[in-house]
């Protein structure tokens, strides 16, 4: 008997059916990055920025700011993941395109399946471009591999410049934007009834192009401040926003709903999301509660404390009403740095940060949170919040981790691109290009201030013209950075934004905590505590893993490493 046991199929076996070719393409999506704590044993990159502090000491996230980061401790997970994804894309593009499946031509669904198959080439090229964006964001220039080739060739390639990589990403997006399916939710006669909302379409391509252009224009990659790059970033982002509008996309009414369990199927949420990564863990029926387990407060069954928002982040949320509207605590004339100012804050604060006294967080918890020292959710318990806060955003509070619960897991979708981000991206690019928060021109018809108002007004804040009229450029830049920190908190942006701005010496050398004490009269005392962190300018880019340099003598190391 010519019998073999195997699970890995070769090219001939894969190309025999639409299903196997589609499965190969779909598996490439599993390389898309996300940040639910999977890389650092629960810690997210926000805990290596000024967004958060990880509650459990000794976590690998501390290597980013305690001096232990090095080329031999290079945090290379994304290097490996992205190049594996790139290799799979190259295999698909080189070997699995141009098929006709003639043996299946008499099948009743042949035309529809072939229509879907013919789009996979463009998806593969989008994915490859996206993987290179992740690498460029992290390392700058990297080796550029666009075809399948032997290991000895790959391991002799030099690094391309960051300019070359960003140029490649943008040119790839231009090459595929008119060929890829425009909208997977509307395939007309070719609609097969399958849920394809997780696949990349034309808007995802335009979003990648616009975001890559913004990074390429930023000081880290644009040391000469080439104004053309800022212009292109603004123009590409405006084109994306305009096309989103034409397709009926808009900001979701409810900010908190963007991370709900049905954010991939609810039209009132999908209206803002351009592309998201399905994330399934080890829970029942393909769903997960891993992120909740990492981040629910200690003192709640199954909770480990996790990524605790800093007082630095809390201070970024504005007041909503009265004479203080539009101001942050530091903007007040009678500012007391030892008071957290919980009341009358930006509504996004209350759905992002869990604070002392909060009720029904998570939903199954019937006791108000006690984050003061000695409280049931606080230090000195292992995992007790060091900052005075816990994270709400991204957590699905209905998940009950208690041993007798029947609701222990849920669907999660990491939002890779959403319209809210691109209003902010446009505001930055047009401000940097035109040199004023209020300027417009014939092409860039929306000012930076008006673009910034989009996310503010959705959150329930007043417009900038009402609360901060006549801002100087420095004032606008400060307001812009704060709005971006608030709107995109815990979405994986802050760690990279501060780097591309080259402002880490301003933001990443310390974080503020708030220490709470319960007094004998049941009042709470607050004391701000500033924690220093190590920063070196070499950290703007990651070190090339020493293991890769040993394999490839033509790889050069990033400066300082």
Token pair belonging to 432: 């940097």
pLDDT exceeds 90 at position 9: no
- Pair 371, 356: CB distance under 8 Å: yes
Residue ranges of the alpha helices (H) in 15-76? 18-28
Instruction: Determine the 3-state secondary structure of 10 from DSSP.
Output: coil
The owner of tokens 């070769």 is: 10
**What is the predicted pLDDT for the residue at 292?**
95
Write out the H or E segment, with its range, that includes residue 52.
strand 52-54
Backbone angles phi, psi at 226, to 5 degrees: -65, 110
- DSSP helix/strand/coil, 237: helix
pLDDT value at position 31? 96
Ramachandran angles phi, psi of 155, nearest 5°: -80, 15
Task: Using DSSP, state whether 531 is helix, strand or coil.
Answer: strand
pLDDT digits (tens, 9 = 90+) for 190-202: 766 555 778 999 9
Closest CA to 128 of 80, 65, 69, 82: 82
Integer Cα distance of 310 and 44 in angstroms: 14
Share of the chain above pLDDT 90, in %: 87
Tell me how far apart the alpha carbons of residues 176 and 172 are, in angstroms, rounded to a whole number.
6
DSSP state of 462: P
* 8 A C-beta contact, residue 439 and residue 230: no
Q: Classify residue 530 as left (phi > 0), alpha (psi -120 to 50) or beta.
A: beta
User: Residue 165 carries which DSSP code?
Assistant: H
pLDDT at residue number 8: 58
* Poorest-pLDDT segment among 287-296, 470-479, 524-533: 287-296
Q: 16-35+75-200 adopts what CATH topology?
A: 1.25.40
- In this prediction the pTM is 0.95
Q: Which residues contact 531 (CB under 8 A, 6 or more apart)?
A: 53, 510, 511, 512, 513
504 has a pLDDT exceeding 70: yes
Taking the C-alpha atoms of residue 481 and residue 493, their distance in angstroms, rounded to an integer, is 11
Q: Please state the rounded mean pLDDT for residues 234-244.
A: 98
pLDDT tens by residue, 267-325: 999 999 999 998 865 544 446 899 999 999 999 999 999 999 999 999 999 999 999 99
Q: What is the largest CA-CA distance in the chain?
A: 87
Q: Is residue 7 scored above 60 in pLDDT? A: no
Q: What is the pLDDT of residue 114?
A: 93
Q: How confident is the model at residue 404 (pLDDT cuts 50, 70, 90)?
A: confident
Report pLDDT digits (tens) over 372-399.
999 999 999 999 999 999 999 999 999 9
Domain ranges of the chain: 16-35+75-200, 40-66+281-410+507-561, 225-280+417-487
d(Cα 561, Cα 559) in Å, to the nearest integer? 6
Q: What is the pLDDT of residues 180-227, one digit of tens each?
A: 999 887 777 676 655 577 899 999 999 999 999 999 999 999 999 999
> Is the pLDDT confidence value at 147 over 50?
yes
């Amino acid at each position: 008997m010519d019998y073999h046991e195997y699970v890995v199929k070769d090219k001939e076996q894969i190309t025999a059916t639409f299903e196997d070719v589609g499965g190969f393409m779909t598996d490439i999506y599993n390389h898309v990055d996300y940040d639910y704590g999977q890389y650092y044993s629960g810690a997210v990159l926000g805990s290596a920025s000024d967004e958060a502090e990880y509650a459990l000491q000794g976590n690998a996230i501390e290597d980013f700011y305690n001096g232990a980061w090095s080329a031999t401790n290079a945090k290379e997970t994304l290097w490996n993941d992205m190049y594996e994804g790139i290799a799979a894309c190259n295999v698909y593009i080189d070997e699995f395109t141009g098929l006709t499946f003639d043996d299946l031509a008499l099948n009743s669904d042949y035309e529809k399946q072939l229509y879907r198959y013919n789009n996979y080439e463009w998806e593969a090229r989008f994915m490859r471009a996206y993987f290179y964006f992740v690498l460029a964001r992290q390392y700058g220039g990297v080796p550029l591999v666009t075809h399948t080739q032997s290991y000895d060739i790959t391991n002799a390639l030099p690094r391309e410049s960051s300019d070359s990589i960003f140029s490649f990403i943008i040119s790839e997006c231009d090459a595929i934007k008119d060929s890829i399916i425009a909208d997977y939710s509307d395939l007309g006669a070719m609609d097969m009834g399958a849920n394809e909302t997780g696949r990349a379409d034309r808007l995802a391509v335009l979003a990648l192009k616009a975001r890559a252009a913004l990074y390429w224009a930023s000081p880290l990659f644009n040391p000469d401040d080439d104004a053309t790059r800022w212009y292109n970033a603004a123009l590409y982002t405006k084109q994306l926003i305009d096309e989103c509008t034409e397709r009926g996309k808009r900001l979701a009414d409810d900010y908190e709903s963007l991370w709900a369990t049905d954010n991939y199927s609810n039209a009132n949420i999908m209206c803002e999301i351009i592309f998201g990564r399905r994330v399934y863990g080890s829970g029942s029926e393909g769903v997960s509660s891993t992120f909740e387990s990492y981040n629910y407060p200690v003192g709640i069954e199954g909770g480990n404390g996790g990524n605790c928002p800093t007082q630095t982040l809390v201070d970024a949320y504005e007041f909503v009403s009265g004479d203080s509207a539009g101001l942050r605590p530091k903007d007040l004339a009678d500012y007391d740095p030892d008071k957290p100012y919980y009341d009358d804050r930006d509504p996004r604060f209350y759905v992002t940060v869990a604070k002392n006294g909060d009720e029904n967080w998570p939903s199954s918890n019937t006791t108000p949170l006690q984050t003061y020292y000695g409280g049931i959710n606080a230090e000195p318990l292992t995992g007790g919040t060091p900052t005075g806060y816990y994270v709400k955003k991204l957590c699905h509070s209905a998940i009950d981790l208690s041993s007798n619960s029947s609701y222990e897991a849920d669907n999660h979708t990491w939002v890779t691109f959403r319209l809210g981000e691109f209003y902010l991206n446009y505001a930055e690019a047009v401000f940097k290009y035109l040199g004023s928060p209020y300027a417009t021109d014939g092409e860039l018809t929306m000012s930076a201030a008006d673009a910034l108002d989009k996310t503010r007004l959705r959150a329930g804040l007043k417009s900038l013209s009402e609360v901060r009229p006549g801002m100087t450029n420095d004032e606008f830049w400060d307001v812009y950075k704060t709005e971006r920190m608030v709107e995109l908190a815990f979405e994986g942006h802050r760690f990279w934004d501060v780097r591309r701005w080259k402002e880490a010496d301003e933001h990443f050398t310390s974080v503020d905590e708030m220490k709470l004490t319960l007094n004998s009269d049941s009042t709470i005392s607050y004391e701000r505590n500033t924690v220093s962190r190590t920063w070196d300018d070499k950290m703007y880019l990651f070190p090339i893993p020493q293991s890769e340099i040993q394999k490839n003598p033509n790889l050069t190391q990033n400066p300082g490493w």
